[in-house]
Amino acid sequence: MIVEHHVYFSVFGFEEDPEEVTRVAGVEPDEVWRRGETYSEAIPEARRRDNCWILTSGLDQYASHRDHFEKLLIRLEDLGDRLPALLEHYRCGVGVSRYYFMDDPGFYLPARLLERYRELGIPLTFDQLALDAGENANGH
């Protein structure tokens, strides 16, 4: 089964140029969104509503979710004292997208990995949405 994962740290909802976030972070982002930019050329009228600065795990989408979380954690730990400055001055969070097709879509992360995120000031909570396109999608 092929599963796609995306795990990233984002700074969002800020007014200044994303270059200011880069200055505070001390590292170049993997991706930047600027308010007003289009989401895609396919739908040019759909525009970004906020500025967003993104640091990814750096792994490809087929690496395991645990590997993504571990790699992102290392990247965040490498920020040193710049991470608390980001957390103090900006809205920040970890985003996760996991696309898979199976009857039991649960996943596991070790407690120590979650604790290391909490130690950085980034507690993780998870909400999960599963859509069923099968016969029983609407209870029928």
Please state the separation of Cα 113 from the chain's center in Å: 16
As a three-state string, the secondary structure of 47-96 is ECCCCEEEEECCCCCCCCHHHHHHHHHHHHHCCCCHHHHHHHHCEEEEEE
Strand order through the sheet with 4-12: 31-33, 52-56, 4-12, 91-99
Structure tokens at 95: 């985003």
Give dist(CA 80, CA 75) in Å, integer. 10
Q: Cα dist. 72→16, 63, 116 in Å?
A: 25, 12, 11
Domains assigned to the chain = 4-119 (3.30.70)
Name the pTM for this structure: 0.78
The full length of the chain comes to 140
Q: Nearest 10 degrees: CA dihedral of 56, 62, 63, 68?
A: 30
Give dist(CA 81, CA 89) in Å, integer. 13
Residue 108 has what pLDDT?
75
pLDDT in tens, 34-88: 887 887 788 888 888 888 999 999 998 888 888 999 999 999 999 999 999 999 9
Q: Which one has a higher pLDDT value, 133 or 54?
A: 54
- Confidence tier at 140 by pLDDT (50, 70, 90): very low
